[in-house]
Amino acid sequence: MERKIGQMAAGMGINRQTLLYYERMGLLNAESRSASGYRYYGEASQLRLRFILKAKGLGFSLQEIRELLNLRAEAQANCDSIRTKAEQKLAEIEGKVAFLIRMQNSLARLVQDCEHRKSSDPCPILATLEENEDETI
Amino acid sequence: MERKIGQMAAGMGINRQTLLYYERMGLLNAESRSASGYRYYGEASQLRLRFILKAKGLGFSLQEIRELLNLRAEAQANCDSIRTKAEQKLAEIEGKVAFLIRMQNSLARLVQDCEHRKSSDPCPILATLEENEDETI
DNA sequence: CTTGACCCTGTACTAGGGTAGCGGGTTTAG
DNA sequence: CTAAACCCGCTACCCTAGTACAGGGTCAAG
Count CB neighbours of A78 within 10 A.
13
Distance of CA B111 to the CA centre of its chain: 30
- Spatial separation of the C-alpha atoms in residues B60 and B86, rounded to whole Å: 9
Give A31-52 pLDDT, tens digit per residue: 999 999 999 999 999 999 999 9
Return the pLDDT at A134: 39
Under an 8 A CB cutoff, do A111 and B137 touch?
no
Instruction: Name the nt closest to A14 by C-alpha to C1'.
Output: C18
In Å, what is the separation between the CA of B37 and the C1' of D15? 32
Name the least confident of A8-22, A59-73, B69-83.
B69-83
Report CA-CA distances (Å) from B11 to B7, B8, B19, B58. Answer: 6, 5, 12, 20
Is the confidence at residue A85, as pLDDT, over 60?
Answer: yes
Q: Is A103 part of the contact surface with chain B (CB cutoff 8 Å)?
A: yes
Cβ–Cβ under 8 Å, residues A19 and A28: yes
Distance of CA B116 to the CA centre of its chain: 38
Return the pLDDT at A77: 55
Give A86-113 pLDDT, tens digit per residue: 888 888 888 878 877 887 888 888 888 8
Return the pLDDT at A74: 63
Cβ–Cβ under 8 Å, residues A32 and A40: yes
- Spatial separation of the C-alpha atoms in residues B5 and A108, rounded to whole Å: 34
Return the pLDDT at A75: 52
Using DSSP bridges, classify how beta strands B32-33 and B39-40 pair: parallel, antiparallel or unpaired: antiparallel
Among residues 106-125 of chain B, which lie with CB inside 8 Å of chain A? 106-108, 110-111, 114-115, 117, 122-123, 125
Using DSSP bridges, classify how beta strands A39-40 and B32-33 pair: parallel, antiparallel or unpaired: unpaired
Count CB neighbours of B1 within 10 A.
8
Is the confidence at residue A58, as pLDDT, over 80?
Answer: no
Residue range A123-134: average pLDDT? 65
Q: What is the mean pLDDT of chain A?
A: 84
Could you tell me the pTM of the whole model? 0.77
CB-nearest to A58 from B72, B86, B106 is: B106
CB-nearest to B90 from A47, A86, A108 is: A108
Cβ–Cβ under 8 Å, residues A53 and A12: yes
Is the confidence at residue A132, as pLDDT, over 80?
Answer: no
Contacts of A82 in chain B (CB under 8 A): 114, 123, 125-126
Q: What is the mean pLDDT of chain B?
A: 84
Identify the band that residue A137 occupies on the pLDDT scale cut at 50, 70 and 90. Answer: very low
Under an 8 A CB cutoff, do B114 and A68 touch?
no
Residue range A125-137: average pLDDT? 56
Distance of CA B90 to the CA centre of its chain: 13
Count CB neighbours of B76 within 10 A.
14
In Å, what is the separation between the CA of A133 and the C1' of D23? 41
Give B69-116 pLDDT, tens digit per residue: 887 766 555 678 888 888 888 888 888 788 778 878 888 888 888 778
Return the pLDDT at B74: 63
Top mean pLDDT of A85-94, B46-55, B117-126 is at B46-55
Return the pLDDT at A49: 96
Contacts of B75 in chain A (CB under 8 A): none
CB-nearest to B125 from A83, A106, A129 is: A83
To probe the interface with A, which of B76, B129, B130 has the most A CB atoms within 10 Å? B129
Return the pLDDT at A133: 40
List CB contacts of A125: < 8 A, sequence separation 6 or more.
Answer: A110, A111, A113, A114, B79, B82, B83, B86
- Spatial separation of the C-alpha atoms in residues B100 and A85, rounded to whole Å: 17
Cβ–Cβ under 8 Å, residues B117 and A79: yes
- Spatial separation of the C-alpha atoms in residues A133 and B4, rounded to whole Å: 22
Return the pLDDT at A92: 81
Cβ–Cβ under 8 Å, residues B104 and A94: yes
Which runs of E-coded beta strand occur in A29-128? 32-33, 39-40
